[in-house]
Amino acid sequence: MKAAKAAKAATTAKAAAPRKAPKAESHLAMVRRARRINRELAEVYPYAHPELDFRNPFELLVATVLSAQTTDLRVNQTTPALFAAYPTPEDMAAAVPEEMEEIIRPTGFFRAKTKSLMGLAAALRDEFGGEVPGRLDDLVKLPGVGRKTANVVLGNAFGVPGITVDTHFGRLVRRWKWTDEEDPVKVEAVVAGIFPKSEWTMLSHRVVFHGRRICHARKPACGACPIAPLCPSYGEGETDPEKARKLLKYEMGGYPGQRLSPPADYPGKPAPALGAE
């Protein structure tokens, strides 16, 4: 009895004792851990891809501009009618604003987006012969186009490596302690220094996929996370495996993805058309 009490007291004392601060991670150790996370995400999401439907650089550029402050799903449900009405920059530049506004209304902020898209299309028509330029410096001069949009287009329409720092990407790289920077341009610069250029575009897709499917903003599914042993923020979300699995989204949870026309190797279900949800 005394031995049991002593053991219990020792356990209680040990639990109450202040924990030692975790050993600071060196920059080299962080880089190695970051690259291992990328390798493991590549195994989890070998089918990672841009989640906007597009058939050419112009469609990707327009869809990416439309995706501001809405979901990729809503954009994908809206662009078929938009591109049927305005298949080229010349067509879009000559649009009747009120008619375009009505088409893109589901994406929100439709008046401002119409103005940006018509200005963008006019710039492509007048300055680039109706073609989307394949250089960052040219893309960011277009109305409504910043570095994030430019990198999406360069990486996925032109094969030019780029890091896309959206809200998911920024949140996860901070959770993983790759950087504590908040500014997207600074985040991009830090991450670019960790990975070889050849990895930038696919890294972006993998991180965004993980953020949308498992490592959510409010309640990450820590207990169902395949990279949990590498995550210094493990425990911020649900750690019970069964409860965590119920938090999984898109194909991980058995639900449709965001694209109406996903790549052939996508293991999930295509998204429904507008009005068919």
Half-sphere exposure of 243 (CA within 13 A, CB side): 7
Q: Is 265 a catalytic residue?
A: no
Residue 84: enclosing H or E segment and its boundaries? helix 72-85
Q: Partners of 256 in the beta sheet?
A: 269
Catalytic residue, candidates 53, 72, 113, 148:
148
Catalytic residue, candidates 91, 115, 166, 177:
166
Q: Is 138 a catalytic residue?
A: no
∠ CA 214-64-198, rounded to 5°:
70
Number of H helices, E strands in the chain: 13, 0
Q: For residue 168, which amino acid is it?
A: H
Handedness of CA 217, 219, 223, 224 (dihedral sign): negative
- Report the length, in residues, of the chain: 277
CA distance 274 to 271: 9
Catalytic residue set = 148, 166
